Amino acid sequence: MKEKGKKLTRAEYLRLSGAGIIAAMAVLSLGMGCSGGTSGDSGGDTGKKGCADCPARKNYDKDPASLTGRLWKWHIRFCPGWKGYISSLPEDERRAVLEKYK
């Protein structure tokens, strides 16, 4: 523990604030992680149900400017579950979803 009155070094401050940000994001997300599938799933449908019913996606639809909405929008750029979900859609529906979330 730190002694009372002793100032934090820059490295200590950044380490502690980073941990605080990560903890806050975990609390704010309230379990809104990707749940597109588990390793026990068969058929390779990772992302189909999870992305279609994703609470973070619904939050984005309600308020795109919210923090969780913006995090979800950033997240879909690299999420393998989202990419699998998009590729599983029929062509016309895929275009509509991609246009909505571009």
Residue 75 CB contacts under 8 Å (≥ 6 apart), including other chains: 34, 56, 82
Domain ranges of the chain: 34-100
Mean pLDDT of the chain: 76
pTM, 2 dp? 0.56
With a CB cutoff of 8 Å and minimum separation 6, the contacts of 13 are none
Burial bucket for residue 95 (CB in 10 Å: 0-12, 13-18, 19+): exposed
Res. 41 pLDDT band, cuts 50 70 90? very low
- The three-class DSSP label of residue 102 is coil
Q: Which residue has the higher pLDDT, 58 or 43?
A: 58
- Which residues, other chains included, contact 8 with Cβ-Cβ below 8 Å and sequence gap of 6+? 2, 16
